[in-house]
Chain A
């Protein structure tokens, strides 16, 4: 091994290593959400399961006809999830202890630091200043990591399309309403004022005010205020969150926090490994004539041809 070759090797490995340096990886700090972000307060104690929000969403987002009409309440027999045909669904939960059943609307919670956004390798997701998490179907490759990363199991995928399958999820009516300062269709239609639209910071105050004023009506917890770094949609409830299908084990750290340990290790490997292993090579082969022979011999052989 000649010194020249060694230097060349260093250069090449360095060049190879510098490809694909995730330069932003360390810049991913904690993000508390835009100051003017809007949000929705969901007061589940007011919901009666009329499903008019589902119907309004279907119309606003021009989704296909549902399999079961929106006035059919038999859907509550089982727990549904969001699909490519329904960006929001209402489920019924038996509260037990002789209490009335509880209803909860489910849709994208528009996290402050969304798992889907941070897991996307083409940056198809955007958290807008208004608080919506929107999606660009033009650049989506269809790896579906966002569906794996979503702690609420919200994004759906239009598998049935062979040539243009895309992710389908609630986008806060961003393009038709939120952008112009208007509340989403579901909020506008709700007859029981379950949904309150406003600045997220104001909604937190309103929610705690409601809990303070009528402590018998609510448990003292605003789901989504802190969960996963905070979400734009937040829930007040009469029962503990897990009783209405809200996962309490998600923790208060955004999804990306779990990945940071790996991302932080990447630059170290990229910088230390080349020198380390080239050094090993020198140590391992320095005094071995055999190694040097092997290469010079083959070079001569090639030269002969």
Chain B
């Protein structure tokens, strides 16, 4: 893409081309390139080849899972009813998607306008993370077509999962509404933007409520299994707090990681505002993440002390617990503290990656690796289960990239202020029927008449 821009291709960042004509939807989809150029740049990108191979293997397996059933892709374990789909997909992706409510809160509720350039990335990261967590859930459910049942048919309101189902469904709609502002700008529908803006504060506050509860609720799900989750990862009183608090650095660090990857691979999409503020914002986010990590560590230790579980540290599981805490909490805390002080953004980014991996490790430990610690055997996931996880995660990355390439997330949509509103409306309706040259002439004539 950089080469194309160097050779004169223009980037879509406003309703109109430099010639004054509006971009068509197809042109917007092809990033303002011609069809051939678009295909050529897609083929040149080595990542696409990797994704191609993953999809070639993984998508047939996903289809197979729905034709042949769960026993074809998992070990059909009765003792480990939740495998990687939930342990990695649902429990891992939801905490890393808390960025939506956090940046929404910071910008809209606390008025932190300095974070605004990255607010939309936070919101999008939240939306996609939740959406794909639900995709993982659909892969895991025995009868996924019954997923709406708890909403419409049968209620089990005393169950934690009931709360999770309702909150995730509600919160997904809230996030779609929040992210849709970017979509409305891109597609050119100002009435949608106005409608969303009016309810932004309400949505943000409901986002905080829903997030607090369902992030915590995912933790509370494990309090149903006091004898199965290893005591070091289990706490009747603190489980939901652990999950909620760890989601705070998780979400912020995920945004740092995504923005880092984007700055390496798609900096052409950044506008000046984003480029200039990224380092400053990264430091701000890292400060927030350090606070979250410190709180998390303290609560972890309190819960160990509360139930007097120090003895477990002498066992193998105890060492593994310390490894998790070192990788996911203590080392990143040290790195972040050092790099925030010295303003070393590269180290912050590495620390953020560790936090993200630490969150995955923690959720996998709770749900899978140390689950059923009293049973004599440990479950190793089926290779097809792993393949589906990789494939769904790759689809997540591709969709993420698809949206970042197009919607005004890393850049601000340039509103067409220089043109009178009537022309915009007219071009919307007519441009498909007329040849571009004709249009240009017509505009010129109109502009003259109006003046």
Residues of A within 8 A of B (CB): 1, 5-6, 8-13, 16-17, 19-20, 22-25, 27-28, 81-83, 115, 118-124, 139-145, 147-149, 151, 153, 155-157, 159-166, 247, 249-251, 255-256, 258-259, 261-263, 265-266, 269-270, 273-274, 277-278, 280-281, 284-285, 288, 290-291, 294-295, 298-299, 301-302, 304-305
Contact = CB atoms under 8 A, between A and B. Distances in A.
Contacts of A161: 69
Contact of B224 (A19, A115, A124, A160): A115
A269 B147 contact: no
B389 to A, nearest CB: 17
B209 interface: yes
B20 interface: no
B167 A20 contact: yes
What DSSP secondary structure best describes chain B's contact surface? helix
B225 to A, nearest CB: 5
A278 B240 CA distance: 24
A16 B78 contact: no
A291 B200 CA distance: 14
B79 A122 contact: no
B165 interface: yes
Given A16-B174, A305-B190, A121 B159 contact: yes
A284 B147 CA distance: 40
Given A166-B142, A281-B110, A291-B113, A118 B158 contact: yes
B239 A17 contact: no
Contacts of A256: 158
B261 interface: no
Contact of A262 (B166, B193, B209, B216): B216
B227 A141 contact: no
Interface in B81-125: 81-82, 105, 108-111, 113
A281 B109 CA distance: 4
A165 B164 CA distance: 23
Interface stretch (B148-156, B251-259, B288-296, B434-442): B148-156
B110 A81 contact: no
B220 A262 contact: yes
A139 to B, nearest CB: 4
The size class of the interface chain B forms with chain A is 35 or more
B213 interface: yes
B159 A288 contact: no
A123 B209 contact: no
Most buried by B among A121, A163, A288: A121
Nearest to A146: B81
A273 B66 CA distance: 41
A278 B79 contact: no
B339 interface: no
A119 B163 CA distance: 11
Contact of B143 (A165, A270, A278): A165
A257 to B, nearest CB: 8
B247 interface: no
B108 A122 contact: no
A145 B224 contact: yes
A157 B142 contact: yes
B149 A141 contact: yes
A141 B40 CA distance: 45
Contacts of A270: 209, 213
B223 interface: yes
Closest 10 CB pairs of A and B: A142-B142, A12-B202, A20-B166, A16-B206, A162-B69, A159-B76, A144-B81, A9-B201, A262-B220, A149-B224
Contacts of A1: 201
Contacts of B6: none
